[in-house]
Amino acid sequence: MKIFSIALNTFRENLRDKLLYNLLIFALLMIGSSLILMQLTLGEFHRLILDIGLGSINFFGVLIAIFVGIGLVSKEIEKKTIYTIVSKPVARYQFLLGKYLGLSLTLVINTAIMAAGLLAVLYFQDVPVHAVLFKALGMIVLEFMVITAVALLFSTFSSATLSAIFTLAIYVIGHLTTDLKAFGQKMEGAGRSVLEGMYYILPNLDRFNLKGNVTHQLDVPAGDLLMIAAYGLAYTAFLLMLASVIFQRRDFR
């Protein structure tokens, strides 16, 4: 109940944030722009629309997750709004979880709107829609949830600006972890252990990327999907727990 009202309040806060609408409009423009870009290519129209569409959804969703996510907690501390919440019978982890769920709700709704834009473009261009597209969208949302948890974790102990930089770094590295491993295997000794350690600790965000499957109309087996989902949820849960532990020990000065 308490978590739910904090989530709802966070959702309301997000809805009244202008940043959200700016990003959403840009995303829809990007998806729409694939129609113009289509004129420049020969054949492969479908792939282009799907590629640009899913790419924009992912990119702008991540921007929202990071730039709204980092403010979730640090803004509350800076503006001292947290004083009145923590002094009520609300546990700190409940506050954190509520904030997280509120932004997740915002992201799900945003993704739905962007997906509707993409579907509209696909419909008008008579592109056949396969089930794998929705699976890919689901995985994109899961990636957002992991990124949001990363942003939330950083914002429990550092400033908004630093959190943004850290989270962005994790996002970029998270998509390159396979390369990290490949690099590591070419190395010896300590360098190898460090890179392999990073491979296992950092989120493997590329696992959530099913864009290739969509453009090539390759279905993903349910078992694989389940594994990816389990990985995403477990990773998110771990990050949230870590964030709660740090947040619990913090002084609000």
Partner 1 sequence: MDEVAKPIVKIQNLRKVFRVGFWGRRVMAVDGVSLEVQRGEVFGFLGPNGAGKTTTIKMLMGLIYPTEGTASLFGRPIGDPSGKAKVGFLPESPYFYDYLTSREFLRFYGHFFGLLGTALDKRIDELLSLVGMTHACDLQLRKFSKGMLQRVGIAQALINDPELVILDEPMSGLDPIGRKEVRDLILRLKESGKTVMFSSHILHDAELLCDRVAMIMKGKLVACGHVSELIAGDTTHEVEMVIDRLLPEALERIKPLAGKVVLQGERVMVVLSSQQAVDQALEVIRSAKAKLVALTPHKASLEDLFIREAKGIQSAVGARVS
Considering the rule CB under 8 A, would residue 143 count as an interface residue with partner 1?
no
How many residues make up the chain in this entry? Answer: 253
Considering the rule CB under 8 A, would residue 21 count as an interface residue with partner 1?
no
Whole-number Å distance between alpha carbons of 83 and 2: 16
Structure tokens at 112: 């739905």
Which residues, 86 to 115, sit near partner 1 by CB under 8 A?
A: 86-91
User: CB of residue 107 vs partner 1: minimum separation in angstroms?
Assistant: 19
Whole-number Å distance between alpha carbons of 13 and 8: 9
Which among 237, 175, 162 is positioned nearest to 203, based on CA atoms?
175
Binding span for partner 1 by CB under 8 A among 128-136, 158-166, 217-225, 245-253: 245-253
Minimum CB distance to partner 1 smaller for 20 or for 31: 20
Binding span for partner 1 by CB under 8 A among 46-54, 76-84, 152-160, 222-230: 76-84
Contacts 24+ apart (CB under 8 A), 75-78: 75/160, 77/252, 78/160
Residue ranges of the alpha helices (H) in 79-159?
Answer: 82-86, 92-124, 131-155
Considering the rule CB under 8 A, would residue 186 count as an interface residue with partner 1?
no
Binds partner 1 by CB under 8 A, chosen from 35, 38, 48, 85: 85
Q: Which residues here bind partner 1, judged by CB under 8 A?
A: 1-2, 5, 9, 12-13, 16, 79-81, 83-91, 249, 251-253
